Chains A and B, each alone.
Chain A
Amino acid sequence: MLHVSKTHEGSHPVQRPAHLLRPRAGAGFKPEHLQAIVDQVPTAAFFEVHAENYMGKGGAPHAQLARLRQSYPLSVHGVGMSIGAPGLLDQLHLQQLKAVVKRYEPSLVSEHLAWSTHEETYLNDLLPVPYTREVLDHVCEHIEEVQSVLNRTILLENPSTYVLFDQCDMSETDFIREIARRTGCGLLLDVNNVFVSATNHGSSPVTYLDDFPLHKVREIHLAGHATDADSFGNPLLIDAHDRPVADDVWALYRYVVSMTGALPTLIEWDNDVPEWPVLVSEMANANAILNQLDAQPLLGRRHAG
């Protein structure tokens, strides 16, 4: 079994088995695609939604998601918990997330290694955290609080970043490894984020992946990025979610799954959303890579990490 691993810390809440999701491609759900989705034979292994879009009380959004849920397993992806923020977690938001999870019984629940609030203000972006012991303790407390309220483990997603903090105690991979070890959370590996951050910081995405605790990864994200440059002419990639997955990112994805085995893989496309067949085609690209894995044994490179 590739997708169920024992957590060494016995006191953590039991996760609904991740193998409820087939280790094949899924898509971010956009309401404008609902008719095309339900009219077709299943083309997605699962759908993912942003939790915040379903924190209203009722109406069309819930009716649409309930219809989708009849036919597909679901992954609930939070964008607003602000797990990295210096302050306390927002209790109302936690309860709203709990309500969404209770209502739709998703196979996976995930959030970001990021922050998005300052005092009373919600900044609506995924902001970076410094990799220090202080912030590590803080993030772990917040993840434990979320897992305790939800009574299940969550997945934490690696960020895409454009800046570095000048005083850090450890690397991003060490930071994430330690979070997973302490809290028992699983990991959501966004391969586009790995490529974007590594390019932006002049480092190697392969080195990053070789150091990443891949055995804790339960889901993969793939998305498109935009290309810009910083003041010195160095490439500055933007995590735009507005175009197809780049060839470099597909290559990294092949590299990852050759080590982890097949995993549920999300095609994320949130801006300039195309017609449904475009997402079907992106999913087919991912599935072609995953199907190849079945035909050959794993490369024996899975890390003990």
Chain B
Amino acid sequence: MPGEAHTRWERQGAEFAGALLDPDAALPGCLTSSSGSNDPRRYAVYRNNVTVSLVRAMQSNFPSIVRLLGDEFFTAMAQVYITAHPPRSRLMFEFGSEFPAFLQSFEPVRPYPYLPDVARIEQAWREAFHEADAPLLDAGALIGIAAENLAGLRFATHPATRLVRSKWAAGSIFVANRTGASTDGINAAAGEWVLITRPQFDCQVRILDNASGLFIHKLITGSTLDDAVQAALASETPFDLAENISGLIACGAFTDIKEENQ
């Protein structure tokens, strides 16, 4: 009740909640037990429930980071994160949105500069997993388009499509750790574009070179096909238009096309 003096329950609730994520905070004074004492081991059950459930949510939301750093280190780090950035959303699959930025500044993981981008890919993957369903662009959609209209064509992006650019090999590192494969032989310093799509219910992850990355980046931000092709051709890597277009349609990146003059 804004403006009013705090009620007893507002004061008690603030005290109870305030000590949950702070192990050094004093026990809420409003509690007791059947033995007549305010027993710290009893309140500790709530502290433990909150911490354990949120750490579990972080483990579930960032499995590749867990594998990269090991369970013990991840759990300790997640506890620091939880205290600094407790959830705002009641949906646990949305928990951890500030984790990439947290990793950027968390001193102990400084030797692993690709971690924030791997966490960004985890976020993008999870967003894609829960995004709205939508019909996919038909594989034959381009067949009937007149040649003179191709350059001005625009694509409607599927709601689950996500693109992450990393100056590290974050996509390859993500895939290896999600599939239990070795990261030996991955050059961490080789930059990647990572495309995540969800043609039906399973997310697909594609690692793209710079030309293909720029091409899809242009298309999903509303550029015409011609502008996207020009951006791809201007990059240093070779570019095959037919292969890129059919690949993007096949993986469910789009829902529709729109001709310039429509």
Residue of A nearest to B126 (CB): A56
Asked whether any CB of chain B lies closer than 8 Å to the CB of A297, the reply is: no
Partner of B35, one of A134, A203, A232: A232
8 A Cβ contacts from B28-59 to A: 30-35, 37-43, 45-46, 49-50, 53-54, 57
Residue of B nearest to A240 (CB): B49
Q: Which of A93, A120, A164: most chain B CB closer than 10 A?
A: A164
Asked whether any CB of chain A lies closer than 8 Å to the CB of B17, the reply is: yes
**0 or 1 for each of B64-101: is its CB under 8 Å from A? (1 = yes):** 00000000000000000000001111111100000000
Partner of B50, one of A123, A134, A162, A165: A123
Asked whether any CB of chain A lies closer than 8 Å to the CB of B259, the reply is: no
Asked whether any CB of chain B lies closer than 8 Å to the CB of A238, the reply is: yes
**0 or 1 for each of A171-203: is its CB under 8 Å from B? (1 = yes):** 000000000000000000000000000001111
Partner of B41, one of A61, A167, A231: A231
Asked whether any CB of chain A lies closer than 8 Å to the CB of B247, the reply is: no
Residue of A nearest to B93 (CB): A56
What number of A residues sit within 8 Å (CB to CB) of B?
52
Asked whether any CB of chain A lies closer than 8 Å to the CB of B114, the reply is: no
What number of B residues sit within 8 Å (CB to CB) of A?
51
Roughly how many angstroms separate A132 CA and B7 CA in the complex, as a whole number? Answer: 12
Q: Which residues of B contact A122 (CB under 8 A)?
A: 86-90
Q: How many A-B residue pairs have CB under 8 A?
A: 146
Asked whether any CB of chain B lies closer than 8 Å to the CB of A135, the reply is: yes
CB distance from B185 to the nearest CB of A (A): 32
Inter-chain contact B87/A121, CB cutoff 8 Å: yes
Roughly how many angstroms separate A90 CA and B50 CA in the complex, as a whole number? Answer: 20
Asked whether any CB of chain B lies closer than 8 Å to the CB of A9, the reply is: no
Roughly how many angstroms separate A236 CA and B33 CA in the complex, as a whole number? Answer: 11
Asked whether any CB of chain A lies closer than 8 Å to the CB of B135, the reply is: no
12 residue pairs A–B, Cβ–Cβ below 8 Å: A58-B132, A60-B201, A80-B91, A85-B13, A122-B87, A122-B88, A124-B54, A130-B9, A132-B9, A166-B30, A202-B34, A229-B41
